[in-house]
């Protein structure tokens, strides 16, 4: 299922969400501009490599002062390809605006970064011996999904399901769409533990960790005057029309 649009209107322009999309895109374009050896070195040094935090001998050979701490944040803005970038930014655009609207711009930015940090810690915890760099905004975006799951559980999400090359569109409650997505991350993460390595080149436990962090932390960041769990006029957005989403 590919999310196309949700139907919860926002009150303010999502400055931080749009800014994050622009920054991630510009950094990715810079990555493409770099020669391949330099790009690989950039990813290795600015990505999160678990062994850098768990293996002193490895860290001594492949680290610099403060680099392990800086990498927790730089890794969130690096991507491994167009599909990786577009998938992350599209998801952030669909779900990030409403979460930012409830939290406020500054709080949302802090929340986003904290979820990305929690995602990296979760990945290190589950794959402490890995020497592969982890990059991407998906851990932080998983935190946004966790917050959205708690704030707008009954909001409808329009998804596209390709069947025999034909697109079919359905409306599903956010609690079902995001809940199914989370269970898939959890299942794939469990497989990665069984196999002793990352399955499919995806840091599944980073997604799980980011989601759980968003679920637990979102209450601390919501603006009281806007509320965490309901629109003041209509609860959870269940009565909004698709037109309202586009017009606000």
Angle ∠(86,91,93) on CA atoms, nearest 5 = 95
More confident residue, 178 or 239: 178
Q: Which residues pair with 6 in a beta bridge?
A: 157
Give whole-number Cα distances, 121 to 188, 235, 247, in Å.
18, 35, 40
The domains located in the chain, with CATH, are: 12-152+176-223 (1.20.1540.10)
How far apart CA 174 and CA 186 sit, in angstroms, is 18
What does the pLDDT look like over 75-94, one tens digit per residue?
999 998 999 999 999 999 99
How far apart CA 248 and CA 244 sit, in angstroms, is 6
In the prediction, which pLDDT does 237 show? 40
Contact 218, 114 (CB under 8 A): no
Question: Is residue 238 predicted with pLDDT exceeding 70?
Answer: no
What does the pLDDT look like over 141-164, one tens digit per residue?
999 999 999 999 999 998 888 777
Annotate 109-138 with DSSP letters as a single string. HHHHHHHHHHHHHHHHHH-TT--S-B--SH
Residues 125-135, mean pLDDT to the nearest whole number: 89
* Confidence tier at 248 by pLDDT (50, 70, 90): very low
Which range scores top for mean pLDDT: 144-153, 161-170, 182-191?
A: 144-153
Instruction: Decide: helix, strand or coil at residue 159.
Output: strand
More confident residue, 134 or 66: 134
* Confidence tier at 235 by pLDDT (50, 70, 90): very low
In the prediction, which pLDDT does 244 show? 43
């Amino acid at each position: 299922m590919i999310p196309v649009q949700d139907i919860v209107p926002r009150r303010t322009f999502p400055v931080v969400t749009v800014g994050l999309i622009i920054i991630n895109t510009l950094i990715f374009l810079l990555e493409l501009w770099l020669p391949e050896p330099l790009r690989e070195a950039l990813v290795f040094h600015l990505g999160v490599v678990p062994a850098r935090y768990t293996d002193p001998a490895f860290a001594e050979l492949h680290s610099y002062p403060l680099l392990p701490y800086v990498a927790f944040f730089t890794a969130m803005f690096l991507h491994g390809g167009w599909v990786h970038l577009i998938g992350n930014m599209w998801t952030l655009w669909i779900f990030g605006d409403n979460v930012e609207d409830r939290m406020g711009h500054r709080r949302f930015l802090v929340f986003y970064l904290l979820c990305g940090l929690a995602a990296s810690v979760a990945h290190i915890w589950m794959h402490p011996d890995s020497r592969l760099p982890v990059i991407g905004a998906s851990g932080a975006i998983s935190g946004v999904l966790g917050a959205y799951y708690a704030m707008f559980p009954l909001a409808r999400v329009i998804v596209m399901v390709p069947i025999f090359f034909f697109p079919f569109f359905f409306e599903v409650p956010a609690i079902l769409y995001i809940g199914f997505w989370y269970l898939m991350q959890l299942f794939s993460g469990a497989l990665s533990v069984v196999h002793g390595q990352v399955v499919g080149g995806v840091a599944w436990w980073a997604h799980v960790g980011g989601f759980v962090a968003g679920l637990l932390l979102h209450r601390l960041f919501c603006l009281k005057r806007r509320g965490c769990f309901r629109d003041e006029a209509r609860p959870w957005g269940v009565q909004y029309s698709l037109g309202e989403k586009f017009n606000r």
